[in-house]
Structure 1
């Protein structure tokens, strides 16, 4: 019975993620804010190190990147990568909820993103580009003796903490509307019990690339516990991977869950900086019938993070063969293309002899080939 259920789950996931991918272009990966005591040079230099560490996490996709010796050495020279900084006053919530918000001074810092990416490549660490998978979060919370679901309009502090943790990693997260349509498909106990089939089907309307399911509840010791599961394309190794975040306070227990999910997604979709080769790849695209469609596909391929260069090598009928140079090779390029909705992959078995002849005529018969169609 379990094997049948697993096959069914895989089929549902395959339908959901192959037909409805909706990657998001994330901005501000090179920026962050840190709280400072004053505007002195010493405090500014200390804050720059903290800010640079946060930006390295966002751009690399590795939560613990600052712990590596080669990165620790670079942190001391954070000012070399600095673009600009500015100060602003802000108010943050007091630890004691009965007290008023506390006014603090924040330093907003921007670093040179291209320089940071070159640094990561030089020391052999991954680079997670701006095109990132979007995840919908089904989060059930138990507090003060009752349970509820977090939705996109929730005023709960958990929503603010979720957004803060996602921003720290540059991870696009959305919450369900929990409108009439959602309520007809998903109940609180579905999320609490991680009812995978119900949640996966209910998530289809949001066109997300991944589904993050979690429950958070208090312990008798006064801390918080949580259980997390990340669902993604069944071809990925983390399909249905679950974990417990260590016991902690509210912001930490939620942050740890989000950071773990970000680590898993980044490990799959980032470009490995330790891979030093660029591979030449032929990309055959069917369904290009006019100049507008050609421009759309060409611009899309150029925008992909692994692409170093791309040119049209052969145009004929309703197909175009592009020659691309991809950092990280065929696998990295295939994953990047899969995050968008622009192109649908065709299996090699569906290729005609004509496609092989076209590639040979374009001088690309000896390179890796990928086959797609424009819907």
Structure 2
């Protein structure tokens, strides 16, 4: 399999909302079984957040895993229809990040690049294009890549199903003709574009890839694996480690006081700006709050806080002036905007915590003289 990845501009981070959540099988509900489950779950989260499987070999990590319960925010034991127990758990983002930093591990935040993967598979003499709603054998490949990407916390998208029968496009993917695939990708959200071809040789699947663009070298890498699940895992692992090498924050830069960006829309006056900032500063977890940029009625604040991010979000939920807003989708940019957009995307990818989006709803002004 050959992968050609190209970074178009501008790039926009995708927030991985469940980066610190995981589900693992457990042998029972006694304290020993639960402790083993906590440890297994935290190990997977460590790999996801550091961006590398090598993190588990660092000095001090086993001690952190033995005390995994101290980083736990919540858990639930689920009983399956076959009687097996599984435990769903969520760890605190701040606690996990600082634990990784304490053993000199890198920390890769929740804002990550979205890879649009065009995957062509040659199997049993037939070539197929893998799409988001694939059927038959192509669906098995779609599922394998989706599971692998979810495990590593890597946003990966497949093209829509309406291109599945495009034989010309399939040939272009197989032949690594990136130009036509870029054109076919217009209007599809992505930060990276990947052309993938998969074939079987000597009883194994062989995977090789080349990355192009400012962010990557042109050197070729390859892996071989015995099953579709193993080769999908191997490819996604390499992609995750490549991105982490570029965007993860060094342990020394994590700091003891976490910071988060809050994008606040509807700030239409100096009074709104002052009231919104003052409201944030009154929340117990907030240490400092200050503007980092203003665009029209949109105010971006950088907030330093103590404790976990969920605690700050709970305080904001109690103040009706902060109305949760959806994260904006990617927007096309003119050539003149490319440089600024690329710079802002770098900052977004290197931010440790998800960007929070709200709309400011000022308190109504009551006229005491009305009616009278």
TM range (shorter): 0.5 to 0.7
**Alignment partner, residue 183 of structure 2:** 201
Matched residues in 2 for 1:128 and 1:313: separation? 22
Quote the RMSD (CA, aligned, Å).
4.0
**Alignment partner, residue 69 of structure 1:** 59
Matched residues in 2 for 1:342 and 1:66: separation? 40
In the alignment, does 2:153 pair up with 1:170?
A: yes
Query: For residues 322 and 79 of structure 1, do their structure 2 counterparts lie closer, same or farther at Cα, with a shift above 3 Å needed?
Result: closer
Deviates more, 1:167-176 or 1:117-126: 117-126
SS at match of 1:52: helix
Matched residues in 1 for 2:241 and 2:110: separation? 15
Higher relative contact order (CA 8 A, sep 6+): 2
Aligned length: 287
1:235 aligned to which of 214, 222, 225: 214
1:65 positional shift: 1.2
Query: For residues 103 and 187 of structure 1, do their structure 2 counterparts lie closer, same or farther at Cα, with a shift above 3 Å needed?
Result: farther
Q: Deviations over 1:322-351 (max 9, x none)?
A: 99799xxxxxxxxxxxx976995767xxxx
Task: Give the conservation status (yes or no) of the 8 Å contact 2:48–2:152.
Answer: yes
Q: Deviations over 1:157-186 (max 9, x none)?
A: 1111111111111111110015259949x6
SS at match of 2:224: strand
SS at match of 1:139: strand
Task: Give the conservation status (yes or no) of the 8 Å contact 1:89–1:105.
Answer: yes
In the alignment, does 2:130 pair up with 1:150?
A: yes
Matched residues in 2 for 1:320 and 1:174: separation? 29
1:41 positional shift: 2.9
1:230 positional shift: 4.1
SS at match of 1:179: helix
**Alignment partner, residue 225 of structure 1:** 206
**Alignment partner, residue 358 of structure 2:** none
Deviates more, 1:222-231 or 1:244-253: 222-231
Task: Give the conservation status (yes or no) of the 8 Å contact 1:176–1:182.
Answer: no
Task: Give the conservation status (yes or no) of the 8 Å contact 2:73–2:92.
Answer: yes
**Alignment partner, residue 17 of structure 1:** 9
Matched residues in 2 for 1:54 and 1:178: separation? 32
Matched residues in 2 for 1:195 and 1:41: separation? 56
Q: Deviations over 1:65-105 (max 9, x none)?
A: 112122233112212212222222447xxxxxxxxxx7743
1:118 aligned to which of 87, 92, 98: 98
Q: Deviations over 1:29-85 (max 9, x none)?
A: 111111223333333222222111101112222232112122233112212212222
Matched residues in 1 for 2:86 and 2:252: separation? 35
**Alignment partner, residue 265 of structure 1:** 243
1:37 aligned to which of 15, 27, 35: 27
**Alignment partner, residue 173 of structure 2:** 191
SS at match of 1:69: coil
Matched residues in 2 for 1:144 and 1:88: separation? 40
Query: For residues 137 and 203 of structure 1, do their structure 2 counterparts lie closer, same or farther at Cα, with a shift above 3 Å needed?
Result: same
What 5-or-longer segments of structure 1 have no aligned partner? 1-8, 92-101, 279-288, 303-307, 327-338, 348-375
Task: Give the conservation status (yes or no) of the 8 Å contact 1:125–1:274.
Answer: no
SS at match of 2:253: coil
Matched residues in 1 for 2:299 and 2:88: separation? 45
Query: For residues 87 and 313 of structure 1, do their structure 2 counterparts lie closer, same or farther at Cα, with a shift above 3 Å needed?
Result: closer
What 5-or-longer segments of structure 2 have no aligned partner? 257-266, 281-286, 305-328, 341-372
In the alignment, does 2:227 pair up with 1:249?
A: yes
In the alignment, does 2:48 pair up with 1:58?
A: yes
Matched residues in 2 for 1:83 and 1:323: separation? 26
Matched residues in 2 for 1:240 and 1:149: separation? 25
1:309 positional shift: 6.4
TM-score w.r.t. length of structure 1: 0.64
SS at match of 1:32: strand
Matched residues in 2 for 1:323 and 1:28: separation? 23
Query: For residues 230 and 154 of structure 1, do their structure 2 counterparts lie closer, same or farther at Cα, with a shift above 3 Å needed?
Result: farther
Deviates more, 1:222-231 or 1:248-257: 222-231
Task: Give the conservation status (yes or no) of the 8 Å contact 1:29–1:58.
Answer: yes
